[in-house]
Every structure is written in structure tokens, then in C-alpha cells.
Amino acid sequence: MAFAAEKLPPDDTLLDAYSVSIADAVDRIGPAVCRIERIGAGGHGSGFVIAQDGLVVTNFHVVGDARAVRVTMPDGAAREGHVLGRDPDTDIALVRADGSFADVAPLGDSNRLRRGQIAIAIGNPLGFEWTVTAGVVSALGRSMRASTGRLIDDVIQTDAALNPGNSGGPLVSSAGEVIGVNTAMIHGAQGIAFAVASNTANFVISEIIRFGRVRRAFIGVSADTTNLPRRAALLSQVTTNTAVRLRGVEKNGPAANAGLKEGDIIAAIDGRPVTGVDDLVRMLDAERIGRETLCTVVRRTGVSQVTVMPVARTA
């Protein structure tokens, strides 16, 4: 029995649809993308306006320790901007630029992303201003280490070409929403670049607007990753082979006040395994500030549950 071949649209129709998707997204977001320069210092990067009163998102490594920056829009208008806050742990900074802005770039929901969907990068690479590159979302849920040594979670990997100067610019979906903040590329690699997810950026922006900084929980310990003996894992009811050993406990800090001591092993927090230092840092987020936190602690004498009350980190 013969089957009729399915009639497919011609190649030029498919190409046109792809081109139109990208062009429409660029038309929507492009006017809100800006060039950012530190006043009195070299170097430049990108950013994008998220509110008509001049809120601009960029990377921490673009603004550094600068208090003032120059924000230049695609129409050539240059405004002075002041850095409202910065978060080195996620490489996000928030700037307030003088004046009002008609065009804004809305932040989308990065939790809805799928591998393979269109990803468009807009920025100012290598001095070639307002350059557009396109690719796809290559992977989701990557982790990348920030300049502070802390892991940035939920990072988007894309093959949209990035170069120095793209940093801080938007990664855009075909729907015309910002899905990430372009932050890094791998030198010598082809088609591997990273963006901080829009939901992470949204959280950081909210914290900076409310508190001037990003709050994170602090318990006053230094630690390293250690192997967790099988017997200890069974007693603590975790399924991992590693945990965190406390190398130091700050006097009069939350951990010390709760009875934690140097040499203690934290195997879990609120029932969730702590497989290493990065897990410990990740779990001590703003939601745990002032909230009783149950630590599963392994000692020579056995396994115990210790309740710690984290406080806000001050630096």
C-alpha cells in the first residue's frame, strides 16, 4: 500500500518564519539595550532597561566597584547612571540611569525554558555596538562559579555567540522576553556561552530594591567537603557519600550558640543532604534568615539533630 508523501513547506518559508521571529524579538527588546561604561575607567559592557524610570540591569563585573557609569542608548543619548547595588555572587548589578525611558525589556520566566528553543543575544561585543547573534538554549540548570567562589545556580547554556562587551546584555526568547543576563563565554570554545537565568536576576533585583543588597543567611562557620562513612550515612538517613566538616566555628555566632563545634560533620539541613560546601552555601539563602534550621550532625558519639537560627550576612 502506497502512502502519499507529506507535503512540507518550502525552505524559504521556514527560513522566513525563523527570521521574522528573531527580527520581531530584536525590534521589541533592542531599543532597551544600552552600552555601559565606568566613568573615569576603561572598559565597557552591556545592559538593558527594565523600568521606564531608568532601572538598568547589567553584570557586576561590568560595573565593578564604580559608583557612577555612563549609559548610552541606541539613539546615541547618553545618561549618567548610579549603581544602586551589586551582587558578586550572581554577577548581577542594578543601575539607576537619569531620565525616563520609553522602551523597556520585560523579564520572562526562565523556569518555562526548554532546550532547543531560540535564544537571541543583544549587546556591544568588541566595540561593535548593538550586535545581534542567535542560537538555541543548549542546556538548562548549569552551575557556574562566580568571582567570589560561590556557585551561581540555574545558569543557561547557549550557543548564541558572545564576545567581550556582551556581558550584561539580555538573552532573549523569540517571544520578546529576557530569559537571561549574558555573563560568560569559554575562551577557545565554540558555541558555549552562559547567561544568568532571568528568575535569578529577578530575585537579585528585588532584594537590591528592598534592602540595597542581597541578603543571605549566615551561621558563622568555615567548612570543607569530606567523605561520609557508610555507617554515618545510614545513621543520618542520607544517601550520599560526602558531607561537610566544620573547620572553624565563629565564637558567639549562630552555629556556636547552637552547640556546633569544630570537627562536626553536617550531613543534612532540614532533611536535605549536604554533599559539600557548595550545598551548604546554596541552602543558606535569605529564606532561612531568622528561621529555625535543623542540622543533622555526625559526631564520634553518634548522630544528633541541632537547631541553628541563621542571621543575615552583613558582608
Of residues 271, 270, 267, the one with CA closest to residue 242 = 267
Query: Active site includes 82?
Result: no
Helical spans, DSSP H, in the chain: 11-29, 60-63, 198-211, 230-236, 254-258, 277-283
Q: Which residues of 129-138 are buried (b: 16+ CB within 10 A; e: fewer)?
A: bbbbbbbebb
Grid cell digits, residue 80: 549618567
Q: What is the CA radius of gyration of the chain?
A: 23
179 SS3 class = strand
From 44, 46, 89, 91, active-site residue: 91
Other C-beta atoms closer than 10 Å to the C-beta of 103 total 16
From 44, 46, 61, 87, active-site residue: 61
Query: Active site includes 11?
Result: no
Dmax over CA atoms of the chain, in Å, equals 83
Query: Active site includes 91?
Result: yes
23 SS3 class = helix
Place of cell 521589541: 28
From 46, 167, 173, 198, active-site residue: 167
Catalytic residues: 61, 91, 167
